[in-house]
Amino acid sequence: MKTEHPNRTSGPDHAELERIAAELRALGEPELDLAADEFASSLNRETAVLACFALAHPTAAASGAVAQLAPLAELDRQRVWRRILTRRAVVAPRVSASSWRATWVAVATAAGLALVPMLSPHGGTRETTPAARATIEALGLQARAALDGVPGEQDGARATLLAAQYAARLGHDSDDSDDSDDSDDSDDSPGKPEAAR
């Protein structure tokens, strides 16, 4: 079953494709997708497939098992590429600009919560593994960046704005708050969430 292409970057060998298609039919698997083969032929397939495999199976990659897989048979390469392209076709349409922010929030939350099983005690502190720690740091950077994007004043500016609004409700000027006893609480609400202003 294993064959080698003399030139991996050239177009597909039709005799070879027919042979693979016959093999797939014999196994009861779906027909070959020519687009998948063309896509695969545009790259160094051996390297790319192994890289994808390593990404999908980090444990195997870390143990060196991926290296033992090379070289892949042509049929195996075709199967891997077809699965990759199938997944690309399913996933790609779901990503849109409008849902990107919500997706990020969901992913970041999932990342934060997924850290639960990764944490383990070290020397009486609540430290975790370096990899998990790096993930938490990345989550922190994302949270800080998201916070910077939330509108609203803070600290002195916030207190000054609130004082002015409160004084207006009280019927006072914020610079001359002791001259009147009028009271009016029907004005703009300083208690509204800061980001919603």
Partner 1 sequence: MKIRGQFGFGWLVAMVLAACDPEAGDADATLSPPDARISLHQVRTGAPTREGLAFIGAVARIHGDADAAADLDTRAAALRRGLSLPVPANLPEAEVLRLELATRLSETMGQRPEGVAVALDLLEPMLVPENSLPLDRASARALVTLGDLAMTANDDALAAGSYARAIRVMSALRKELEQ
The footprint of partner 1 (CB under 8 A) covers: 99, 101-103, 105-110, 112-121, 125-128, 132-133, 136-137, 139-140, 142-144, 146-147, 150-152, 154-156, 158-160, 162-163, 166-167, 169-170, 172, 174, 177-178, 181, 183-185, 189-196
Q: Closest CB to partner 1 among 39 and 166?
A: 166
Question: What is the C-alpha separation between 78 and 84, in angstroms, rounded?
Answer: 10
Quick one: how far is CA 160 from the chain centroid?
A: 40
Residues 34 and 27 sit within 8 Å (Cβ to Cβ) = no
Token pair listed for 111: 């990342």
Q: Closest CB to partner 1 among 4 and 182?
A: 182
Residues 8 and 14 sit within 8 Å (Cβ to Cβ) = no
Q: How far apart are the first and last CA of the chain?
A: 68
CB of 187 to partner 1, least distance (A): 9
Q: Closest CB to partner 1 among 68 and 186?
A: 186
CB of 60 to partner 1, least distance (A): 17
